A = this chain, B = another copy of it.
Amino acid sequence: MTLDPGFARLPSPPYVAVIFSSRRSAHDDALYQATAARMLELARQQPGFLGEESTRGADGFGITVAYWASESDALRWKGHAEHRIAQETGRARWYEHYEIRVATVTRAYGMNPQEKST
């Protein structure tokens, strides 16, 4: 069976989770989508990037969780030049409101029937 690509495949804890909750504004959907895809592509190339899970409902409220090997890896990505430009555009145009919580994951478990069956 194929693995569900929506889920990040992570090592054993500890690692860092950056939880980004946001409400989208109605502006710029095509540019927003292109920028979000580019930021994910770029994040995947950064040292310490472990994976990402992301979803947004029809009401414009979304949650993205990015996983990093360490807090310094997450902070380096926060300061990445191209990412900073995207952050500024996001604040100015794409988000009505967002909250970021940086956390250390200490325990992880789940139910994955695809892994059970292999």
Contact = CB atoms under 8 A, between A and B. Distances in A.
Count of identical protomers in the assembly: 2
Nearest to A103: B103
B99 A7 contact: yes
A21 interface: yes
A102 B97 contact: no
By size class, the interface of chain A is 35 or more
A63 B53 contact: yes
Interface in A65-112: 65, 71, 91, 95-112
Nearest to A71: B106
Interface string A21-65: 101000000000000000000000000000001111111011101
A102 B98 contact: no
Interface of A: 4, 6-8, 10, 13, 17, 19, 21, 23, 53-59, 61-63, 65, 71, 91, 95-114
